[in-house]
């Protein structure tokens, strides 16, 4: 019932469209009840009395009625589907908006293909259920009740005899309703697995081809596709059994009508006109009953997707604005870690008892062995993850007390693995400031040392860069991301190994861009190549034990501790190369 209420709430914004659809459907159902009675009257009274003028009048009246019915059917067929499409759109919009609120931990643990399946595939059947569900139920109930009452007026005994089959049809519907719920849920799950495998294979196509693993990926996808095929085959098998059984029971009721009706005529209990009207009404009664029974299948198809949609919508973000959260304004850039402890999924601690103060405008380099938690440490500042204990403050304000949007508006992040959106260079740079003018975009590109290579391209700033910027080199993509950050102009800047995957020439250009970007900002740099941060005024050495060392390059080298060993190890490897 809770699920149905949730589903029904999406009709509220389109209530007048819903009322129009239901009103027209009502008159369509009412018109179905008129024809058999007219036929009965013609056969029993008009034809025996040879009142042919009445036949012509009845014919004209029915023609006018069916013309009006045609208009009503157009309204139901068109606007009813518009209603369904609007509800599907609303649900998909809500799902995407909710995804934007979910924490990074959700994306860390959920495959992209699963998410896409829930937003796209799971809602495909919703439009049909939203339109045909209430309409079919309403039409069927009106026709069934109306037909039953009219059948009783013809002959009560014949009606009771024929209706002995009806309870068996409803029992059958109830049994298969439970079966269809399980079957269609399995279909949706296997479809999501197939989509996840497909998305992963396409995203990693360069890796697939470089390792010559096309056959392996084909087998992997075929396995998931086969699971979906099996689930779907099982579903259509039960549909076939359900439909054929419903048709059989419907035909048996017609047989009972003919047999019992013939007997009643032979005994003089009813006349021929009554039996003709009765047969027409029985066919009209069985049609909505069959629709009602088959609605079970359609309902479970749609609800299987809607249940998964509700599961997504009920997933609460682990990190959200607290009640009374404030805007973070006029940020200078002072950052303080006070006894911070953090673990992923409340398991082994990644960081423990971290204490660190960074003054505004200061550039601090974070170094240490792989797995020490450098990226994790800096990911805590924009609250991508929630700390287990302690506090992180910006300008003396706990970041948990401020709105997430205002917190992240004041922080810029340039990562090693640059993500660019499918589109043009101009569109990607302007992502840093959506209302930026062309002049601002060009100035940002110049500051990032990107303008020259952009102008060498055929279409300049309007060059299409492909999905994830595949048409650009690593250095070019990095410069675009830095230009994007110049437009955002945040007071706090985080550079996560931004030059580690580049060649020496590209690294030199990027380093110059980063130096320009870092001016007058609080800047935190995660460095892989220690040679790039030799001139840093402050270097933090992070290991599994926490912050082990701190100082300038010269001070740390003189201590001959962790930093000294890391630096010499890298220099030795460079010498060997």
Residue 58, phi then psi, degrees to nearest 5? -60, -40
pLDDT in tens, 390-444: 999 999 999 999 998 889 889 888 887 788 888 888 988 888 888 889 899 998 8
Residue 71 lies in a domain: yes
Tell me the β-bridge partners of 363. Answer: 523
CA distance 448 to 515: 10
Residues 6+ positions from 70 with CB-CB distance below 8 Å? none
- Give me the residue label for tokens 């102008």: 455
Instruction: State residue 506's pLDDT score.
Output: 61
CA distance 272 to 256: 16
Where residue 471 sits, what CATH number does that domain have? 3.40.50.300
Residue 340 lies in a domain: no
CA distance 193 to 232: 14
Give the domain-ending residue among 456, 489, 522: 489
CA distance 29 to 387: 62
Where residue 281 sits, what CATH number does that domain have? 1.20.1560.10
Q: Are residues 166 and 288 in the same domain?
A: yes
Helix (H) / strand (E) containing 549 = strand 546-551
Give the domain-ending residue among 290, 313, 336: 313
Sheet strand arrangement including 397-398 = 349-358, 335-343, 389-394, 397-398
The number of distinct structural domains making up the chain is 2
- For helices 504-518 and 474-488, the axis angle rounded to 10 degrees is 0
Helix (H) / strand (E) containing 351 = strand 349-358
Instruction: State residue 307's pLDDT score.
Output: 83
Distance of CA 126 to the CA centre of its chain: 13
Question: Maximum CA pair distance of the chain?
Answer: 122
Q: Are residues 99 and 244 in the same domain?
A: yes
Instruction: State residue 400's pLDDT score.
Output: 92
Q: Are residues 308 and 435 in the same domain?
A: no
Q: Are residues 159 and 14 in the same domain?
A: yes
- Give me the residue label for tokens 């303008």: 451
How buried is 575 (Cβ within 10 angstroms: 0-12 exposed, 13-18 middle, 19+ buried)? exposed
Q: Are residues 293 and 440 in the same domain?
A: no
Using DSSP bridges, classify how beta strands 349-358 and 522-526 pair: parallel, antiparallel or unpaired. Answer: unpaired
Residue 272 lies in a domain: yes
Distance of CA 298 to the CA centre of its chain: 21
Residue 563 lies in a domain: no
From residue 462, give the alpha-carbon distance in Å to each of 424, 435, 459, 575: 5, 17, 5, 43
In the numeric block, which tokens belong to residue 497?
């190994």
From residue 303, give the alpha-carbon distance in Å to each of 125, 130, 295, 296, 454: 9, 10, 12, 10, 50
Using DSSP bridges, classify how beta strands 538-543 and 546-551 pair: parallel, antiparallel or unpaired. Answer: antiparallel
Residue 184 lies in a domain: yes
Averages of pLDDT over each 10 residues, the chain, 577 residues? 81 89 83 70 68 75 83 86 86 87 84 80 76 76 77 77 75 73 80 80 67 78 86 82 78 80 78 74 71 70 80 86 88 91 82 90 86 87 90 92 90 82 87 88 86 88 84 83 86 76 61 74 82 78 87 86 81 55
Residue span of the structural domain in which 251 resides: 2-313
CA nearest to 22, candidates 158, 176, 142: 142
Model confidence pTM above 0.85: no
CA nearest to 506, candidates 543, 480, 539, 535: 480
Instruction: State residue 577's pLDDT score.
Output: 43
CA distance 348 to 10: 43
CA nearest to 517, candidates 444, 418, 408: 444
- CB atoms < 10 A from the CB of 571, how many? 12
Distance of CA 144 to the CA centre of its chain: 39
CA distance 31 to 68: 10
Q: Are residues 244 and 128 in the same domain?
A: yes
Residue 294 lies in a domain: yes
Give the domain-ending residue among 436, 466, 489: 489
In the numeric block, which tokens belong to residue 52?
């042919």
- What is the DSSP secondary-structure string of 359-373? -TT-EEEEE-STTSS
Residue 287 lies in a domain: yes
* Number of separate helices (H) and strands (E) present in the chain: 20, 10
Q: 130 in helix, strand or coil?
A: helix
Distance of CA 206 to the CA centre of its chain: 26
- Give me the residue label for tokens 């030799």: 534
- CB atoms < 10 A from the CB of 503, how many? 11
Instruction: State residue 355's pLDDT score.
Output: 92
CA distance 475 to 471: 12
Residue 503 lies in a domain: no
CA distance 538 to 536: 5
Kindly report the length of the chain. 577
């Amino acid at each position: 019932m809770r699920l149905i209420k949730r589903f029904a709430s999406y009709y509220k914004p389109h209530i007048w469209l819903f009322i129009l659809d239901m009103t027209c459907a009502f008159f369509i159902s009412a018109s179905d009840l008129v024809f058999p009675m007219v036929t009965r009257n013609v056969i029993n009274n008009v034809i025996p009395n040879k009142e042919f003028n009445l036949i012509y009048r009845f014919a004209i009246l029915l023609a006018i009625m069916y013309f009006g019915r045609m208009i009503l059917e157009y309204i139901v067929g068109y606007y009813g589907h518009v209603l369904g499409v609007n509800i599907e759109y609303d649900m998909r919009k809500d799902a995407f908006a909710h995804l934007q609120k979910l924490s990074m931990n959700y994306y860390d643990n959920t495959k992209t293909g699963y998410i896409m399946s829930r937003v796209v595939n799971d809602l495909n059947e919703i439009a049909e259920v939203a339109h045909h569900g209430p309409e079919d139920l309403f039409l069927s109930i009106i026709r069934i009740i109306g037909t039953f009452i009219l059948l009783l007026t013809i002959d009560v005994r014949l009606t009771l005899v024929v209706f002995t089959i009806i309870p068996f049809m409803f029992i059958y519907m109830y049994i298969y309703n439970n079966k269809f719920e399980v079957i269609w849920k399995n279909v949706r799950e296997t479809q999501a697995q197939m989509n996840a495998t497909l998305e992963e294979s396409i995203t990693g196509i360069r890796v697939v081809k470089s390792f010559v693993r096309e056959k392996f990926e084909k087998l992997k996808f075929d396995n998931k596709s086969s699971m979906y095929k099996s689930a779907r085959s099982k579903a259509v098998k039960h549909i076939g059994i359900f439909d054929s059984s419903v048709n059989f029971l419907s035909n048996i009721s017609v047989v009972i009508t003919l047999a019992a009706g013939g007997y009643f005529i032979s005994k003089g209990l009813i006349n021929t006109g009554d039996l003709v009207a009765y047969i027409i009404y029985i066919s009209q009664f069985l049609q909505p009953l069959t629709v009602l029974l088959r609605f079970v299948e359609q309902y479970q198809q749609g609800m299987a997707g809607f249940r998964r949609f509700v599961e997504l919508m009920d997933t609460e973000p682990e990190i959200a604005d607290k009640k009374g959260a404030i805007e973070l304004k006029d940020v200078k850039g002072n950052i303080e870690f006070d006894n911070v402890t953090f673990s992923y999924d409340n398991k082994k601690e990644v960081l423990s008892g971290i204490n660190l103060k960074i003054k505004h405008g200061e550039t601090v380099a974070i170094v240490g062995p792989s797995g020490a938690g450098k990226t994790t440490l800096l990911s805590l500042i924009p609250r991508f993850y929630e700390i287990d204990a302690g506090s992180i403050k910006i300008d003396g304000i706990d970041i948990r007390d401020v709105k997430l949007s205002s917190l992240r508006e004041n922080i810029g992040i340039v990562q090693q693995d640059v993500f660019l959106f499918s589109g043009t260079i101009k569109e990607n740079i302007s992502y840093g400031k959506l209302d930026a003018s062309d002049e601002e975009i060009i100035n940002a590109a110049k500051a990032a040392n990107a303008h020259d290579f952009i102008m060498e391209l055929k279409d300049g700033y309007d060059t299409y860069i492909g999905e994830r910027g595949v048409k650009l080199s690593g250095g070019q993509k990095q410069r675009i991301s830095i230009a994007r950050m110049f437009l955002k102009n945040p007071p706090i800047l985080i550079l996560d190994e931004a030059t580690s995957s580049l060649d020496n020439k590209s690294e030199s250009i990027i380093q110059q861009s980063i130096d320009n970007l870092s001016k007058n900002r609080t800047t935190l740099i995660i460095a892989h190549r220690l040679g790039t941060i030799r001139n840093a005024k402050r270097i933090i050495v992070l290991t599994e034990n926490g912050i082990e060392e701190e100082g300038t390059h010269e001070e740390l080298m003189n201590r001959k501790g962790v930093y000294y060993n890391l630096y010499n190890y890298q220099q030795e490897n460079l010498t060997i190369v």
